[in-house]
């Protein structure tokens, strides 16, 4: 960004950004081009080839980013799509008395997630339930669960894999 580079190239052991993680999917397909917005989303949700903070400055100056293969550098290259995040926790909260889970409750839940440094990967809510898929890097889930259990019925699944699928 500071050098106003003509482009940035990330060299990897894959032919570019693929529509699936080749460690988990045999028939991953090379993507010829994706937008900065798609690349930032993919990076945020776990595509390890690109860090989201790498993309923002490039987008501001419209500096193209290429992902190419150091194994075969003559291939055109690109960016990645089905993303797998393993070891997630899927937490489902429901109201104990069948009252609605409204903005006030959701605000409180997010405040607790922030306090315990727990990153949210996915959210789903209905009138009386709220589900989140989280990454508990710091092992704070039990403390969070104890607090949430005072207001909500808490159920959870451990070792969940979250798949992010483009288009």
Task: Report in angstroms the alpha-carbon separations of 13 from 29, 39, 72, 73.
Answer: 15, 18, 9, 10
Q: Which of 38-52, 62-76, 126-140, 143-157 has the lowest mean pLDDT?
A: 38-52
Write out the two tokens for 130: 């709220």
Task: Round to whole Å and give the CA distance between 57 and 65.
Answer: 11
Task: Round to whole Å and give the CA distance between 158 and 106.
Answer: 22
Task: Round to whole Å and give the CA distance between 87 and 8.
Answer: 32
pLDDT digits (tens, 9 = 90+) for 58-86: 877 878 888 888 988 887 765 434 466 88
Q: What percent of the chain has pLDDT over 90?
A: 35
Average pLDDT over residues 105-114: 95
What mean pLDDT value characterizes the chain? Answer: 85
Q: Which of 11-15, 138-142, 143-147 has the lowest mean pLDDT?
A: 11-15
pLDDT digits (tens, 9 = 90+) for 17-66: 887 778 888 888 888 888 777 787 777 777 777 777 778 888 778 788 88
Q: Is the pLDDT of residue 153 over 70?
A: yes
Q: How many CB atoms lie within 10 A of CB 125?
A: 15
Task: Report in angstroms the alpha-carbon separations of 30 from 80, 82, 152, 155, 161.
Answer: 8, 11, 44, 39, 23
């Amino acid at each position: 960004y500071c050098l106003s580079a003509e482009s940035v190239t990330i060299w990897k052991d894959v032919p570019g950004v693929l529509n699936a993680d080749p460690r988990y999917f045999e028939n991953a397909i090379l993507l010829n081009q994706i937008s900065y917005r798609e690349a930032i989303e993919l990076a945020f949700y776990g595509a390890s080839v690109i860090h989201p903070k790498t993309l923002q400055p490039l987008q501001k100056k419209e500096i193209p980013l290429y992902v190419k293969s150091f194994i075969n550098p003559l291939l055109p290259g690109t960016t990645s799509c089905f993303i797998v995040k393993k070891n997630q926790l899927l937490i489902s909260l429901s109201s104990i008395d069948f009252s609605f889970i409204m903005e006030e409750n959701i605000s409180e839940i997010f405040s607790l997630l922030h306090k315990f440094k727990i990153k949210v990967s996915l959210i789903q809510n209905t009138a009386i339930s709220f589900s989140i898929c989280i990454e508990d890097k710091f092992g704070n889930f039990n403390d969070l669960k104890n607090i949430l259990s005072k207001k909500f019925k808490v159920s959870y699944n451990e070792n969940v894999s979250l798949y992010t699928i483009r288009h």
